[in-house]
Amino acid sequence: MKRIEDLILRLRKTAEKKYSPSESLQLLEPRCKICQDRGVILLGEVARVCACARQSYLENRYQYANITPEIKGCTFEGFRLDYYKGSNKEMAAKALQGARQFVAEYLQNPRIPGILFTGDVGAGKTYLAGAITNSLLRHEIQVFFLVVPDFLDELRATYHKGISGEGTDLDDVSLLRGVRQVDVLILDDLGVHNYTPWTCNKLYSLLNFRLNFQLPVIITTNLTLGELEEFLGERTTSRIVQMCRIYRLSVDKDIRHLKNKNGSLD
């Protein structure tokens, strides 16, 4: 079976990078002048891990997590409550505290409930999910950040390729197996989509597996629980409620528009 890295490659639709002869020669030169790309530094009879190896390890974890540069910049400290007013600010503060609490509790016991962030478009749901992702990655926890519409499109495309006989190097079983077994799964933008009975069943299978094996999931959605039940069905929504603490985020204006207007992402 293919590993989860295959899914990342398919979702990003990246082509294999080709090097020119001059670039190939450059690759022969060590990138790290300190350890000569060995990853360790010898200090007498003592071997120390070079800083370049630690940095490479961190970069690989971020690549495996399938997060974009924008998500990589999300932190709890960067979540600004001044974008929220009145009762919305109170809800946002609770959501922030819940996100911090999830990370703290997970580091003590990984078999804990996940989180469902629900609310308005541009209310900070994805930002908090990204902050959780980055915090866990810094503690060397395996995380996978998945945008639901992209994942469902890939599932559907893989399924149709199998039916048409075109063949594919990654089937839907492999896609689901890699995603459902990751330590912490982020399902971003579980919203309005062209859900079919087949895709609904795949989502249910994914969530049910993680519930049974006590693997937490962080979900963001613009839909209410009633709307989720309308689109996904009662049993899938029931699984989400059973396995997640629920936090709602609301804003008067899309925070992303406000950030662009102010010329700041902080």
Residue 76 within any structural domain of the chain? yes
Walk across the sheet containing 184-188 and list its strands.
Answer: 143-147, 184-188, 217-221, 114-119, 244-249
CATH number at residue 115: 3.40.50.300
The mean pLDDT of 185-209, rounded to a whole number, is 89
More confident residue, 28 or 215: 215
Per-residue pLDDT tens over the stretch 216-251: 999 999 999 999 999 999 999 999 999 999 999 998
136 lies in some domain: yes
Report the predicted TM-score, pTM, of the whole model to 2 decimal places: 0.74
Q: Does 224 fall in a domain?
A: yes
pLDDT at 153: 81
Kindly report, residue by residue over 67-91, the tens digit of the pLDDT: 888 888 999 999 999 889 999 999 9
Domain count within the chain: 1
pLDDT of 169 reads: 45
User: What is the residue range of 133's domain?
Assistant: 71-262
Q: Does residue 63 register a pLDDT over 80? A: no
Tens digits of per-residue pLDDT, 100-148?
999 999 999 999 999 999 998 889 999 999 999 999 999 989 898 999 9
Do the domain assignments include residue 33?
no
Answer yes or no: is 155 within a domain.
yes
Whether residue 57 lies inside any domain: the answer is no
In a domain, 3, yes or no: no
When the pLDDT of each residue in the chain is averaged and rounded to a whole number, the result is 79
Q: Is residue 35 part of a domain?
A: no
* Mean pLDDT (whole number) for 151-164: 66
What is the number of other CB atoms lying within 10 angstroms of the CB of residue 37? 14
